[in-house]
A and B are shown apart, each in its own frame.
Chain A
């Protein structure tokens, strides 16, 4: 199994069917678009999601983290 260590210390396993995808690289234009979307205020939640959240709060679940 070939393992390549990037300068950023991210390890990519190039075979073995574990994480065999190429790293995502961004051009300057794509990075600008991403930065813009990160800087924008979040859109209001739809009434459908608000209802889903209300239902979520009613689910009696034990969370073990």
Chain B
């Protein structure tokens, strides 16, 4: 191993009880509360999984951003050709208010998409959906998220797996 490799500044890993989330503030009460109250509890029960981002230049345990994914499904009515459409839900994605305009939101979203692609390559996933906050909507539209065809869930945005694969391919070129 050569000794010239630069130490990574950031670390992205699964949330554990060792991570410090008490000072995290993305200026959204729900997203703060989810990270500080529910994320780890859900992860320990395998209901969802949260990845947290730390800036090693500041602290190896203080969280500056996170995202949470879980499985979800759509159930077409009885006359459809399939019984179930598997998708992933982006439950939450946020970065600390001190990290605006640093590309952290894009970084977290691309990493979340990378996880979805990994799962899709293993078991098949039709796409990703989420219910965006008002602040997050602009980020998701940039990545070609579209309004969901569901008539009764107009809050949902959807990104098909083909687009996710295209985005991840672009990161690897």
Contact = CB atoms under 8 A, between A and B. Distances in A.
Is chain B's binding surface mostly helix, strand, loop or mixed?
mixed
Nearest to B12: A63
A55 B115 CA distance: 19
A10 interface: yes
Interface residues of A, number: 37
Interface string B1-25: 0000011111111100000000000
A54 to B, nearest CB: 9
Contacts of B75: 8, 23-26
Contacts of B96: none
Interface of B: 6-14, 42, 45, 47, 53, 70, 72-77, 79-80, 82-85, 103, 106-107, 110-111, 115, 118, 126-127, 142-144, 146, 149-151, 153, 158, 160-163, 165-167, 170-171
